[in-house]
Structure 1
Amino acid sequence: MFRIRRVFDDISPVNQLILTQAQDLLRELFAGLEHKKIDRIPEVLRHPLKYGFRTILYVAEDQRQQLLGLALLDHDAGLSFAYLDYLASASRLAGRGVGGALYDRVRSEALSLGVKGLFYECLPDDPALCRDPAILKQNRARLRFYERYGARPIAGTAYETPVKVGGDNPPYLVFDDLGQSTTLRPDYVRDVVKAILQRKYPELCGPEYIRMVLASIKDDPVRLRGPRYNGARDNAEKSAAPSPSTLRRIAVVVSDQHEIHHVHERGYVESPARVKTIRQALASSDAFTELPPAHFPDEAIIAVHDPGYVQYFKRVSAQIDDRTPLYPYVFPLRNRSRPPQDLPIRAGYYCLDTFTPISRHAYIAARRAVDCALTAAQEVLAGRKIAYALVRPPGHHAERGVFGGFCYFNNAAIAAQYLSPFGRIAMLDIDYHHGNGQQDIFFKRADVFTQSIHGHPRFAYPYFTGFADETGEDAGRGFNHNYPLPEKISPELYLQTLGKALRRVREFKPAYLLVCLGLDTAGGDPTGTWDLKAADFSAVGKAIGQLGLPTLVVQEGGYRRGALGSCAKAFLLGLRDGQGPQTAQNPPPTKNARE
């Protein structure tokens, strides 16, 4: 088993390790490649526009974070094209599908960027251009692989002319239209070719050579070579038309165990109808794709929560009568060396309030909500632009060893911890109530930046946290910010406050953004006093989306059923719009072929 994820920088130790492995793999597979081009890969990730392209790196790795393969993609937004610089997998993995999976991911990424197509170089399968039979065989295997996707060399140009007279093995320029039936016009292809030759080969391709190649591009439309390989020809039509960009669509991971946690008591607003209402609203748009939750080990939970609390919650849930949920009613002083022995009495030892019950199925539902948040986090790690964990019970009031506010496990904090080895995390809580859980969990850390916009604790739950002077401790000093607002606010004030929070996110420069989405800021919510409408949620989502960060959204509060669906949908579509356009066998490794 392996996973594919996007690497944004070389800041974290995990990314440093995988980048070192990536450089070693390129040196092994491409002995003639200039070392300086391999050495500068971390630099182009940190400064993606320095060399004229925005560089995107995907890696395939196993569970021990050992590199299995990589794909390096360059994007030119002005010319609306993507260029595949390298696609490579370890030679020991022939037939394992790593290269095919990476190429599928590259195609999805290119589609999500809104490009006209994907260009790359492949060495020739013509004996007149390649004199070595062994290399010719590899070249044919590579072109056969890509032809399965409908990708073929551009025909009728001088692109494959050797730079030096008598040179061997000059590359074709291959084009994959990504199933879009793109018509290539000569002016456009000349611009793309000029960008490739000037930026990729400034020391190799002189002005005269570039002018000669550009002058040879005359056909209108520019033609691709006809299919040449029978197996590829049979599969081309099917493979050439991928589904709408999977990375551009919003992944929605819905808990399949939330309904079993249902407290049938008057006034208990945290009901299963919340998820059902939002799910129905999202189903009316093709911008969303539902994914089933995967199961994750308990280690992900105890990395954030006190193991004693986790064990207690599991034990007490299993012992409770199905018809009589347990409400905490005794709150001893917090002497952790002397907790009450009786499990029902001990509930107050782990709880913030008297209105958050433990039902017989509370643990199972909360545990599955964690799985959903982690599945969504995994999607973002793999390159998804936006993933949404539609869960209940919510989680942002759950501290390291305490539950409350309808929350048992802090789904968002657990997901942030899961993502944190791969880059810095910014958390933004936009629930009406303060996100005391993640503040407590990350208060002394500098790698997870926490912010919360909420009703002032002088009138809003949880009452004892969420003040503006709570900015972190020790290493985390300055990495927590609260924005407590009045009981009545205007949408303009909310957006102004959000702007302050987003400026701080930009200054922090995270790899990932995690939004705790509370819909209890909507007008008429029984737990809030604000009056935001669907249009305001859209504006909030769009402003957050303009950060351009891979974003994980975790559902928190929101209890006015009539507003939930429209507000959730408006926020998520606004988030998407704010971001803007953005298995086969292994092929032989593909590289920048003029090296």
Structure 2
Amino acid sequence: MFRIRQIADTSLPSDQRDVARVQQILRERFSGLSAEEIDALPDRLRDPLRHRLRAMLLVADDLRGHLKSFALLSHAPDVGFALLDFIASGKDSGGGGGGGALYERVRETALGLGATGLYFECLPDEPEACSDPAYAAENASRLRFYERFGARPIVGTAYETPLNEGDLDMPHLVYDDLGRGEIPSAAELREVVRAILERKYGELCSPEYVALVVDSIQDPIQVRPARYVKRANPLPHIRTGENLVALVVNRKHDIHHIRERGYVEAPARVRAILDGLLPTGLFWEQEPKAFPVSHIDAVHDPALTRFLKAACAATPEGKSTYPYVFPLRNRARLPKDLTYAAGYYCLDSFTPLNRNAFPAARRAVDCALTAAGFLLESHSLSYALVRPPGHHAERSLFGGFCYFNNAAIAAHYLSEWGKVAILDVDYHHGNGQQDIFYSRDDVLTVSIHGHPSFAYPFFSGFDEEIGEGPGEGYNLNLPLPETVDGAKHLRAVGRALERISQHEPRFLIVCLGYDTARQDPTGTWTLGPKDFEHMGQTIGALRLPTLVVQEGGYRTRSLGSLARSFFEGLVDAHGGVY
């Protein structure tokens, strides 16, 4: 499996790595290219119209960031044609049929640009036109490949005229009508050829040479009869992986299992979600990587981290400690007994500490950071399926079944590479993100939730809470009443996405709760699978690199269908390209 994507700039480390690999392949495979031209590739991508030819780089990799092949495409919007400069693979790419899929993507890209046709050069397949007759067979193989798509050399012009007397290996100009069944007129082709010679080869082609070639183009334009393929018959469609969601699961979540009656944050939640998702074929599961605790301490008070680690380690196996003393004053004098101290760090009396809460929460953070890392590898969509959840964990407090704020930690991590927006669609207010980013303007926090007059955590989530200092205007709460159906919820999602679009984030994080659904034991709303599908479609239509982090949702009987519906909508609208 491989994916194909466009590199629009070189700001992400993964893009810089891939551009460097493309330059390496150009040096290995195209000895006639100057070092200056190869070195200029990053500048061409950053300034795509510098030479009146918009440079577009498509790369195919193996989903793990190992580049297999690439295509460099130029577009002349004023003339309306696309030029394929290079399509090549590395010597160690291992094949695998990616060339056909990549060329198909080039054709789709050209059509999307509104190009009247796709042009490219191919070296001659006549032995007498080659500096080494042995080259003819290799060139014939390339032309055979392109003939399968209906692309053939244009004949009857002076395009193959040597620049210097006696030059060989002069390329054919090949034309692909992109399935339109149209041949350009002489006037159209003259514009195309002039643009190619002047903009691409301006340093080599004299005005006299350009005039010679352009003036030779007369109606009717002819393409060479097929030599190798009786009729156009493109390769069978090859499934590529850019639409796959990178799935990172906390497979060790079940070490954290509270068996007390009424504790709904149970291990069965993850299995129910996976049962709904994995049969879709939309997911590509990867193991979480281990990250240092510094990522947690960048978002949470290190004192909270130290307390949770010590308190969980000190709790006897099979036992749980629930906070029951909550200080209203003198918070600086922490009790020595960790049982009493729990209330100094907790929001409520129903989030327990036990032997495995800390390691499970650490693993959930690793999953969220690993999934965030896939966005930095230019994956379009990723999903951290974790428990315990995290969106109620504030900078210095845990609670609401949450110990560390997985989404906030991932957002801070991604913010090094650009602005981030967090959209929380859990039934309960995302008080953790609000608290952590309340004074920051680089991370926008938006939460759609039950009004705090009746819904946990009761003390935050009011619409007048908009941020403070530099963060003023960068926190948006959309509290809703106790009775909400799918249509009303979708209108709130639309309002949220309008604000997110204004923020112009580079990355979007969705805190996804299924507790907005009908009959969830912790909510009062009535969303169904179709509503989740519509929500996914609406969010996906932004086509932002998106990380989904699992939060609530406790009716295990319906979790699978809700998850499947949301992600089918998200993937369908997102399209895997940005």
| TM-score of the superposed pair, with normalisation by structure 2 | 0.75
Match of 2:474 among 464, 479, 490: 479
Supply the AA of the counterpart residue of 1:187: G
- Please give the per-residue CA displacement for 1:262-291, whole angstroms capped at 9, x wherever unaligned: 000100000001000010011221223322
Supply the AA of the counterpart residue of 2:222: S
Q: Which residue matches 1:63?
A: none
Q: Which residue matches 1:267?
A: 262
- Structure 1: how far apart are the matches of 2:404 and 2:140? 50
Match of 1:300 among 295, 300, 316: 295
Contact residue 278 and residue 565 of structure 1 kept, 8 A: yes
Q: Is 1:157 the counterpart of 2:162 in the alignment? A: no
- Structure 2: how far apart are the matches of 1:478 and 1:143? 62
- Structure 2: how far apart are the matches of 1:296 and 1:504? 32
- Structure 2: how far apart are the matches of 1:160 and 1:299? 68
Alignment of 1:481-560 (within 5 A): 481-560=476-555
Contact residue 154 and residue 223 of structure 1 kept, 8 A: no
Match of 2:567 among 567, 572, 576: 572
Q: Which residue matches 1:42?
A: 46
- Structure 1: how far apart are the matches of 2:384 and 2:417? 20
Contact residue 392 and residue 432 of structure 2 kept, 8 A: yes
Q: Which residue matches 2:306?
A: 311
Match of 2:379 among 358, 361, 384: 384
Q: Which residue matches 1:215?
A: 221
Is the alpha carbon distance of 1:248 and 1:211 closer, same or farther for their aligned partners in structure 2, counting shifts above 3 Å? Answer: farther
Q: Is 1:359 the counterpart of 2:354 in the alignment? A: yes
Contact residue 426 and residue 510 of structure 1 kept, 8 A: yes
Structure 2: segments with no counterpart, 5+ residues: 28-32, 62-66, 201-209
Is the alpha carbon distance of 1:153 and 1:540 closer, same or farther for their aligned partners in structure 2, counting shifts above 3 Å? Answer: closer
Q: Is 1:279 the counterpart of 2:274 in the alignment? A: yes
- Structure 2: how far apart are the matches of 1:314 and 1:24? 48
- SS in structure 2 opposite 1:290? strand
Task: Work out the number of aligned pairs and report it.
Answer: 539
Supply the AA of the counterpart residue of 1:383: S
Match of 2:556 among 561, 564, 575: 561
Is the alpha carbon distance of 1:477 and 1:318 closer, same or farther for their aligned partners in structure 2, counting shifts above 3 Å? Answer: same
- Structure 2: how far apart are the matches of 1:307 and 1:112? 53
- SS in structure 2 opposite 1:426? strand
Q: Which residue matches 1:369?
A: 364
- SS in structure 2 opposite 1:187? coil
Contact residue 8 and residue 511 of structure 1 kept, 8 A: no
- Please give the per-residue CA displacement for 1:472-504, whole angstroms capped at 9, x wherever unaligned: 222222111110111112322211111111111
| Structure with higher RCO (Cα < 8 A, 6+ apart) | 1
- Structure 2: how far apart are the matches of 1:161 and 1:70? 30
Once the 2 structures are TM-superposed, how far is the Cα of residue 304 of structure 1 from its aligned partner?
1.8
Is the alpha carbon distance of 1:372 and 1:546 closer, same or farther for their aligned partners in structure 2, counting shifts above 3 Å? Answer: same
Is the alpha carbon distance of 1:172 and 1:213 closer, same or farther for their aligned partners in structure 2, counting shifts above 3 Å? Answer: farther
- Structure 1: how far apart are the matches of 2:477 and 2:523? 18
- Structure 2: how far apart are the matches of 1:160 and 1:450? 63
Supply the AA of the counterpart residue of 2:223: I
Alignment of 1:354-433 (within 5 A): 354-433=349-428
- Structure 2: how far apart are the matches of 1:158 and 1:282? 50
Alignment identity in percent?
44
- Please give the per-residue CA displacement for 1:17-41, whole angstroms capped at 9, x wherever unaligned: 9999999999997456499986463
- SS in structure 1 opposite 2:446? strand
- Structure 2: how far apart are the matches of 1:116 and 1:401? 53
Q: CA RMSD in A?
A: 5.2
Match of 2:162 among 159, 166, 174: 166
| TM-score of the superposed pair, with normalisation by structure 1 | 0.73
- Structure 1: how far apart are the matches of 2:507 and 2:103? 19
Q: Which residue matches 1:435?
A: 430
- Please give the per-residue CA displacement for 1:183-233, whole angstroms capped at 9, x wherever unaligned: 975727969x979868866746889479679933354799599xxxxxxxx
- Structure 1: how far apart are the matches of 2:253 and 2:361? 8
| Range moving further from structure 2, 405-414 or 316-325 | 316-325
Supply the AA of the counterpart residue of 2:415: S
Q: Which residue matches 2:243?
A: 248
